[in-house]
């Protein structure tokens, strides 16, 4: 596999290394040792799929509050999507920066999103399936989110939004000082 660092500290574009012949190709999608060589210590404990019927569907931007350590490896199983990581770790050198990757089932590429980052994507094709491998189980009581079009982040989406949940559309404007206070309180409560 090939790992390319992204603008969000600890996030990577992951591309497969195809070994092809007359049958097609073979490639590794996951290897604990290869990930560890890039500082990605991820113990996959949960995997999920998101099926999206229409192009332009937007999901996000979601995250888990501390004490969750939910890092994600995200890949398109069918179709294409623009996948976005937004750094919400106040201590990170890339705090409030984002990185995006066009995930494509035809290339089998993936993005690694570190714990503490918000995640979202917009489908670029109809019938798009996105696969997540996560390092922590989803805990609804720790679920948080920020608005996909909040000017504080300047996220750009390639298509008009065709489908989005009311929850994702209605997150309040981002208040940095309040967010940092909540983040620190959540971390202290977990300690």
Q: What is the pLDDT of residue 65?
A: 95
Torsions phi, psi of 182, nearest 5?
-65, -40
- 62 counts as catalytic: yes
Cβ atoms of 121 and 103 closer than 8 Å:
yes
In the three-class reduction of DSSP (H, G, I as helix; E, B as strand; rest coil), residue 123 is classed as strand
What is the rounded CA–CA span in Å between residue 54 and residue 72?
23
Domains of the chain, each with CATH number or no CATH: 2-190 (2.60.120.10)
- 132 counts as catalytic: yes
- Catalytic residue selected from 51, 62, 112, 119: 62
- Catalytic residue selected from 112, 119, 132, 148: 132
What is the rounded CA–CA span in Å between residue 115 and residue 113?
7
- Give 66-122 as a 3 state SS string: CCCCCCEEEEEEECEEEEEEEECCCCCCCCCCEEEEEEECCCCCEEEECCCEEEEEE
- Give the pTM: 0.94
Please give the distance of CA 32 from its chain centroid, rounded to a whole number. 19
What is the distance in angstroms between the CA of the first residue and the CA of the last residue of the chain? 36
Looking at the DSSP assignment, which residues form a beta bridge with residue 49?
131
What is the rounded CA–CA span in Å between residue 72 and residue 110?
10
Q: What is the mean pLDDT of each run of 10 residues along the chain (191 residues)?
A: 97 94 91 93 93 98 95 98 98 98 97 98 98 95 97 97 97 96 85 61
Torsions phi, psi of 33, nearest 5?
-65, -40
Q: What is the pLDDT of residue 191?
A: 61
């Amino acid at each position: 596999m090939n790992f390319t660092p992204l603008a969000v500290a600890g996030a990577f574009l992951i591309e497969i290394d195809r070994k092809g012949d007359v049958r097609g190709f073979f490639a590794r999608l996951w290897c604990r040792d290869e990930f560890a060589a890039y500082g990605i210590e991820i113990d996959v404990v949960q995997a999920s799929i998101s099926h999206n019927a229409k192009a332009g569907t937007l999901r996000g931007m979601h995250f888990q509050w501390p004490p969750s350590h939910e890092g994600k490896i995200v890949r398109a199983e069918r179709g294409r999507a623009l996948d976005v990581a937004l750094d919400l770790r106040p201590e990170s050198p890339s705090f409030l920066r984002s990185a995006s990757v066009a995930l494509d089932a035809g290339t089998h590429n993936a993005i690694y999103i570190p714990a503490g980052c918000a995640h979202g994507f917009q489908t670029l094709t109809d019938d798009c399936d996105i696969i997540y491998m996560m390092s922590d189980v989803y805990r609804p009581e720790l679920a948080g989110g920020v608005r996909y079009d909040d000017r504080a982040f300047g996220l750009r989406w390639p298509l008009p939004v065709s489908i989005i949940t009311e929850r994702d559309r209605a997150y309040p404007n981002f208040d940095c000082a309040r967010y940092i206070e909540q983040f620190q309180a959540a971390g202290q409560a977990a300690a």
